[in-house]
Amino acid sequence: MIQLVLDDTLIHQHLFPFTLTRAAADIRIGILTIREKWERLLGQPVLVNRADDYLAPAAVEAASTPVVFSGNIVPSAAFVKELLNGTYSKENFMQQSSVRILQHPWHIFEYNDWALREDFALITAGRASQPIPASVQAIAPGNIFIEEGAVLQCCTLNAQHGPIYIGRKAEVMEGATLRGPVALCEGTVVKMGTRIYGATTLGPYSVAGGEIKNSVVFGYSNKGHDGYLGDAVIGEWCNLGAGTSNSNLKNNAATVKVWNDITREWLPAGLKCGLLMGDYSRAAINTSFTTGTVVGVCANVFGAGLTPNYIPSFAWGLDGMRYDFEKALRDISNWKKLKHQVLTEKEIQTLMRANEMR
């Protein structure tokens, strides 16, 4: 059996702002994180070599047959099968159609459709879904999988164009409409009248409201009210106030350019890109995010008019003021209490590093 090492050191800067607070391998795309995909497919734990927390060399050397891949490689069942049976070769790796490589942060939502279908097949293979409640209107019910403890009532699930996965203890309230591919991870709540288009992933333990399309919302984040979120990625422990929306298409249909604060470049992201928001950031009610806006970690976004295209980590409003670090920690702790969580020492150290990089 091989020992896989997912190396974060080369890709770390390119996936800003999401790798300020996690390894690339811990990015969620589809239903699972990249690390979780590898572990399910291999049937064993993997090692992750973070750019800011290197594995001791002895840990890698002690592995029976260490194999190193970059942490931004999103595997498929077909690819891992080749790896295990010895037909994989580095020479033809770049021609592989059975993986996706996250080279930029917007690739998370661009590849989410593919990843959702891969994960749905992986998670549901050989298993039976919980029954679809009688009050639920289901289209293509064979493409719907409901985990134990999920609650659904008087909603519409249209899986004709892609699978729908409802995780454990997730709730879909009455009047909500989901059009696959969609994944609601464990404990996620979809509020009344919400419209969710594919390819969208929410959670775990996130809240969804309003209109959402082709977006990935990481764990414990809230977009719980009316407003539009499209072609977007929202980090963990974020909150979008009521009425908040993002633009995902420039009004002249030109290429969207996205700022990378570490490489100090504006990078072309294609015709559509909405909001890319790092962990622990929040937006006030009725915030209007411009096309391709990047928000760093732990920013408190408020102010009149459209936002700038880049809002740095630990920003306080839109006027260049800085979020006091101790106050930021207190506010994060308060938000975490709302979901019965606590701010850990490891998280504090991670935020300290991000604050120093500001």
Residue 358 pLDDT grade (very low, low, confident, very high; cuts 50, 70, 90): confident
CA gap 198, 112 in Å, rounded: 9
Q: Is the pLDDT of residue 273 over 60?
A: yes
Which residues contact residue 190 at a Cβ distance below 8 angstroms, ignoring those fewer than 6 apart?
Answer: 155, 170, 171, 172, 173, 176, 178, 184, 196, 202, 208, 209
Output 96 or 116, whichever has higher pLDDT. 116
Instruction: Name the pairing type of β-strands 293-295 and 275-277.
Output: parallel
- Residue 219 and residue 234 in contact, taking contact as beta carbons nearer than 8 Å: no
Q: Is the pLDDT of residue 163 over 70?
A: yes
Output 53 or 227, whichever has higher pLDDT. 227
Mean pLDDT score of the chain = 93
- Residue 122 and residue 103 in contact, taking contact as beta carbons nearer than 8 Å: no
Q: What mean pLDDT do residues 191-218 have?
A: 97
CA gap 155, 150 in Å, rounded: 13
Output 289 or 1, whichever has higher pLDDT. 289
Q: What mean pLDDT do residues 108-123 have?
A: 98
In this structure, which CATH number among 2.115.10.20, 2.160.10.10, 2.60.40.420, 2.60.40.1180 belongs to the domain 130-357? 2.160.10.10
Q: What mean pLDDT do residues 319-331 have?
A: 96
Indicate the pTM of the whole model: 0.94
Q: What mean pLDDT do residues 319-339 have?
A: 95
Closest CA to 228 of 172, 268, 269, 286: 286
What pLDDT sits at residue 53?
64
Provide the sign of the torsion angle of the four alpha carbons 263, 268, 270, 274, taken in this order.
positive
Q: What region, left, alpha or beta, does residue 276 occupy, with left being phi > 0 and alpha being psi -120 to 50 degrees?
A: beta
Domains in the chain: boundaries: 3-103, 130-357
Mutual orientation of helices 112-124 and 34-42 as an angle, nearest 10°?
40
**Could you read off the pLDDT of 6-37 as tens digits, one per residue?**
999 888 889 999 999 999 999 999 999 999 99
Residue 305 pLDDT grade (very low, low, confident, very high; cuts 50, 70, 90): confident
Q: Give the number of other Cβ atoms within 10 Å of residue 44's Cβ.
A: 12
What pLDDT sits at residue 9?
87
Q: Is the pLDDT of residue 318 over 60?
A: yes
**Could you read off the pLDDT of 69-96 as tens digits, one per residue?**
999 999 999 999 888 887 776 666 656 6
